[in-house]
Copies of this chain bind each other. A is one copy, B any other.
Amino acid sequence: MIDFQIDPSRYRHWRLAFDGPIATLTMDVDPDGGLFEGCELKMNSYDLGVDIELADAVQRLRFEHPEVRTVILRSGKEGVFSAGANIRMLAKATHGHKVNFCKFTNETRLAIEDACDNSGQRWLAAVSGSAAGGGYELAMAAEHIMLVDDRRSGVALPELPLLAVLPGTGGLTRLTDKRMVRRDRADVFCSTEEGVRGRRAVDWRLVDEVVPPSSWEAKLRERALALAEKSDRPVDAKGVVLAPLQRTLSDDGNVYTHVRATFDRGQRRAELTVRGPGEVSGLDWALLLARELDDAILHLRLNEPTLGLIVLRSEGDPAAVLAADEELEARKDDWLVREIRLYWKRVLKRLDMTSRSLIALIEPGSCFAGTLAELLFAADRSVMFAGTRSSDNRGPATIALSALNFGAYPMGNGLTRVATRFLGEPDSFARARECVGEPLEAEDAEAAGLVTLAYDDTDWSDEVRLMLEERASFSPDALTAMEANLRFAGPETMESRIFGRLTAWQNWVFQRPSAVGAEGSLKRYGSGLRPNYDTERV
């Protein structure tokens, strides 16, 4: 099992050091600490385990260290920044693991960019030695890249000439869309195994500055302090410790305090139930639920590939969710509230990007309001119970919107889920805005276009059962591809282009004979034999 829970006391690959507003995160990968046996992580190459620690560090820096305004990202190894994703791991891993590895590392890079853009915590990549492939992609996630101007330091994306695959973590898109490298230069760069160093790296916009070795440390500190100056993070706030999650993992499901995941392997389905505020409420509830939900989603992605359908449910009092939302909205300028909102934004995007069918069921006793209503809009379909059950004395299910549905949680395309939903229906969008705070029963929710379908007690069981069974009967791959298209209407951003265009092409390449065939590049890497390529273009 791949576990996404970690803490700094158990890091094998990273070191964190703090100096006032500046944190230094040092990558020093333990070659023997790889997830896969026989894959030695030489030269700061990495696998998913290394990135899980990085993602944890990114997260803790934000929540536990409000005082940190600049994060210096550097290497603890002499002569190499990072050699990128470990190639033997890529050769050994299943297609599904490769795809999910790339997805997760991308999300970690986006979390770094989110910290720079929205959280006042700016990342500075200090590239000394070679930053190749994923190593350079990691540097590109930072706001500013400094490169030592010596003969052995440089940046490269050697995947195409060396391995016949694409940079797996958004590299091509960050080149063209973030760093806005001229496309013919990007073409030359991406097909030059040894990469680019020195002045040319600046001229080509690949790094932001080159610095002579003699003034390296001084310049680094100067830049870090200059970046810190621009931050709006509080000076004397106290961080929030991200305590270990309380959870019980088993073959039948995972139980957290506010999330319950139950697995039905026969039906290839997971049911994910989130619980509204109770003993834990307000901000504490919002943060804890985000953490538990994030872990539950990641667990399903990596450890349960055959559970192709996630049924989303909720339990609790919608009014209590709306009360938490009110606090999240009223105090949004507070650094911690900002972090919680940004975290929910990222968790919801993680759900959007999860290649499982998502069907939300809204029943009496549920609490899909405000922040939790986002789950309905992230779902491929939502089905609402109309009226009450004869055997149940609870009132009819309702859903409700809050102010947070209209700006706090944009999708990767830059729009809110409600706005994306109603791209073709401006009137419906306007009506949705008007009904903020109002509990809507099934008939009204359906008329407002906020749920897909509604059934009453007579039809509910049969219709829902048939829908879930039908979904499970479709080709999992075809669903993956369809959902990757239908979920993201409207505009595209660098982020959505990475997960859409780039990821799809990369997934394609990752199963072509030239890369993964018996004589392909990944299999033959390091063997002394040249790979055999399929010579036909498509």
Contact = CB atoms under 8 A, between A and B. Distances in A.
A151 interface: no
A231 interface: no
Given A176-B486, A471-B191, A535-B268, A476 B514 contact: yes
Interface of A: 95-96, 99-100, 159-161, 164-166, 172-173, 175-177, 179-188, 190-191, 205, 268, 305-308, 355-356, 379-382, 420-425, 449, 452, 470-471, 474-492, 497, 500-502, 504-509, 511-512, 514-515, 521, 531, 533-538
Nearest to A187: B380
Contacts of A449: 182
Contacts of A535: 268, 306, 308, 476
* Residue with the highest number of chain B CB atoms closer than 10 Å, among A449, A478, A480, A491: A478
Given A183-B421, A421-B182, A505-B504, A536 B306 contact: yes
29 contacts: A99-B538, A160-B474, A160-B475, A164-B474, A173-B485, A176-B423, A176-B485, A180-B423, A180-B424, A182-B421, A190-B482, A191-B482, A268-B535, A306-B537, A308-B535, A475-B514, A475-B531, A476-B534, A476-B537, A477-B509, A477-B512, A477-B515, A481-B505, A484-B501, A492-B492, A501-B501, A504-B504, A504-B508, A511-B512
B511 A511 contact: yes
* Residue with the highest number of chain B CB atoms closer than 10 Å, among A382, A474, A501: A501
A161 B474 contact: yes
Contacts of A474: 160-161, 164, 191, 533
A499 to B, nearest CB: 9
Contacts of A497: 492, 500
A176 B306 CA distance: 28
A100 B188 CA distance: 26
Nearest to A98: B538
Contacts of A179: 424
